[in-house]
Structure 1
Amino acid sequence: MEPYKIPAQTRIGHVHLKVADLNRSLAFYRDLLGFEVTMMYGSQAAFISAGGYHHHIGLNTWQSKGSGPADPRSVGLYHTAIVYPTRKDLALIFKRIYSSDYPLTGASDHGVSEAIYLDDPDGNGVELYWDRPKEMWPVQSDGSLDMYTRTLDIEDLLKEANQ
């Protein structure tokens, strides 16, 4: 079989999560993070998006209603990453989460991006981040990417939200 390279324009269309309580998940994704409901599938599923796309995230209780969170030491989804268009947009959602006292699980500068981490009500990891412009990405002497994990300057991010 000859090698295959996925087309550069390929993208992840959506993530579909099994949740224990649909209303609790909507309170997180819709009410806290600001996603819009594009469709409800009875009381068992919701499809939500940013900007009117049919759905970026599907939430359902088809096999998980009333269940506890997945064991974090087992296989499965590590996190869903949501990309914000600008640092200011990331700062604004961070300020909203911070003001609501919703717990964070981390905040990192990865060189190529800045990110905040939290868990949804079912324990699914969520990364909220923005990508720095490609020309700002750190590179090693051989030209390869130099991604790292450093502490995010939260105070500087909050200043961005207040500008």
Structure 2
Amino acid sequence: MSATFANPGTKVISPIQLAHVVLKTQPSNFKKMVDFYKTFLSATISHENEFISFLRYDDEHHRIAIVAMPDLGPRDPKASGLLHVAFTFSTLTDLALAYLQRKAHGIEPYWSVNHGMTTSMYYHDPDGNDLETQVDNMSTDEANKYMMTESFAENPIGVDFMPEDLIKRLESGESDASIKKRPESGPRGVPTFL
């Protein structure tokens, strides 16, 4: 039975996509944050004034907005809240090239890990917010099945790698499928830097 206004049901309708993320920052850090995201995402400004910037990197009018808000203190990394926002790339080569391009701007990941479902690199923005760049290693169906395995239950975090090693493997002609396969490493809990 379809939901109606008279009988909407109890299961909430899911959204069709995640539209954008809005970050608040101290006025003194506004320009640094905008410049970071312009570089990090190769984004352009849709609109900007002295306190807000709307940034886009695809066909959406904005994917990131940054708002300078008075009376904010620095972000407390020990407080509850959002851990990170993730951005997906099409291929391992794109992920690795974006890594090198960011590195040329002084932006380097603090953690690189093969989660099994994704190969990922994690970064900090100037306010200390965390960002993940990733490539899907499996189809959604495969990932759902993988997350139900004993191997994933033993290690739901993944296996670390060095970005330069990823580049060497790609340059050597090793297949993406081989690189994406997560090595077995035994049990692992939450890293201390998360």
For the aligned pair, the TM-score class normalised by the smaller chain equals: 0.7 to 0.9
Seq. identity, %: 25
Higher-Rg structure is 2
- With the length of structure 2 as denominator, give the TM-score of the two structures: 0.68
Match of 1:105 in 2: 110
2:166 pairs with 1:157: yes
Any residues of structure 2 matched to 1:38-53 within 5 Å, and which? 38-40=46-48, 42-53=49-60
C-alpha distance 136-70 of structure 1, shift in aligned 2 (>3 A): same
Any residues of structure 2 matched to 1:11-160 within 5 Å, and which? 11-20=17-26, 21-40=29-48, 42-63=49-70, 67-134=72-139, 137=143, 139=145, 144=148, 146=152, 147-159=156-168, 160=170
State the shift of 1:119 in Å. 0.6
Number of residue equivalences: 157
For residues 3-54 of structure 1, give each alpha carbon's deviation from its aligned partner in whole angstroms, at most 9, with x where no partner exists.
Answer: 51543x63211110002222111221102431121111x2111111112311
Partner SS state of residue 134, structure 2: strand
C-alpha distance 79-102 of structure 1, shift in aligned 2 (>3 A): same
- With the length of structure 1 as denominator, give the TM-score of the two structures: 0.80
Which shifted more, 78-87 or 98-107?
98-107
Aligned alpha-carbon RMSD (Å): 2.8
Which runs of 5 or more structure 2 residues have no equivalent in the other structure? 1-7, 174-194
State the shift of 1:96 in Å. 1.5
Match of 2:182 in 1: none
Which runs of 5 or more structure 1 residues have no equivalent in the other structure? none
Contact 2:39–2:102 (8 Å) recurs in 1? no
Partner SS state of residue 58, structure 2: coil
C-alpha distance 52-4 of structure 1, shift in aligned 2 (>3 A): same
